[in-house]
Amino acid sequence: MQSEYTLKPIAHIYNDFPDKFGIPRQSGLVNELKAVLIFEPEYRFPEAFRGLKDYSHIWLIWGFSGNNKNTWSPTVRPPRLGGNTRMGVFATRSPFRPNPIGLSSVILERIEMTKEYGPVLHICGADLMDQTPVFDIKPYLPYVDSHPEARNGFAGPVKDYALEVSCPEHLLEKFPIKKRDALLSLLAQDPRPSYHNDPERIYGFRFAGFEIKFKVEEQTLTVLAAEKE
C-alpha cells in the first residue's frame, strides 16, 4: 500500500484577502465575495472544462497555504465555541490537521476563455486566502451532495450567528460599489477570534486593498476606519 502521495496544484485562487484574518470561516457564508481561479499552464486545455458550465456549484479541494505548523493535535478549539472548548479534530474544519487540505463548495458564476490564461473560473462564496493552491475541482451534485436532513452537531446552535454592522456612510463610500455588500456581509460574520470579548479593543484586517478597523460591543460591530493601502 502506498504510504505517501504527492499533490500538485492545478490552479491558484485570486481574491481580495491577502491575509487569513477576516476570511469567512466557511464557504457559502458570504456569497457576495468574488474570486477567480487561474490554472497552471499544463491544465489550460479547454476540453478539460467541457460540460463544466452546466453546473451552478463546484467543489474546491485546496491546501491550507497559510498554515505554517508541521504538527497536528487530536483536539482543537473551534472558534464558534468560544475558543476554549476542545473537540476532536475530525469533528471540525480546523486547518490544523494531519494533512492541511481544505474542501469548499462555491458558486460557479461563469467560465471565461482568455488569451493569456486559457479557461478562467469566476466563483463566488469562497473561504480561501489570495493565491491559495487548488489541487482539484469537482462538480457539485445536488442529488448526492445535498442532505437537508443531516445533523449539524455542535455547529448547529451557531449556524445563524451574525452581528449588526454599523458603518458610517462616508467610510462605505470609499469602497467600489460592487464590493460594498461583500464587506458588510463579511463584517456581520464577526472576523474576531471568538474568545475575544473586549468592547474597547480595536481590530483590523485587509480586504480589497483597504485596511478596515472596527470594534465590537455586545452584538454590534462598528467600523471606525477604512484606509486605502
Residue 134's domain is classified under what CATH number?
A: 2.40.30.70
Per-residue pLDDT of the chain (229 residues; tens, 9 = 90+): 777 888 999 999 999 999 999 999 899 999 999 999 999 999 999 999 999 999 999 999 999 877 667 778 899 887 767 667 888 999 988 888 889 899 999 999 999 999 999 999 999 999 999 999 999 999 999 999 999 999 988 777 666 678 999 999 999 999 999 999 999 999 999 988 766 778 899 999 999 999 999 999 989 999 999 999 8
Domain identity same for 118 and 78: yes
Domain identity same for 120 and 219: no
Q: State the SS3 of 36-98.
A: EEEECHHHCCHHHHCCHHHCCEEEEEEECCCCCCCCCCCEECCHHHCCCCCEEHHHCCCCCCC
Domain identity same for 134 and 191: no
Q: Is residue 4 in some structural domain?
A: no
Q: How far is CA 65 from CA 12, 135, 177, in A?
A: 11, 12, 30
- Give the CATH number of the domain where residue 195 resides: 3.30.2310.20
Domain identity same for 72 and 32: yes
Q: Is residue 199 in some structural domain?
A: yes
Count structural domains, the chain.
Answer: 2
Strand partners, 136: 61
**Among candidate residues 87, 119, 145, the one where a domain is terminated:** 145
Contact in structure between 179 and 190 (CB atoms under 8 Å):
no
Q: Is residue 6 in some structural domain?
A: no
C-alpha cell at 145: 451532495
Domain identity same for 200 and 120: no
Residues contacting 91, CB < 8 A, separation 6+: 153, 154
Cα–Cα distance measured from residue 127 to residue 179, given in angstroms and rounded to the nearest whole number: 16
Please give the residue range of the domain that contains residue 216: 162-228
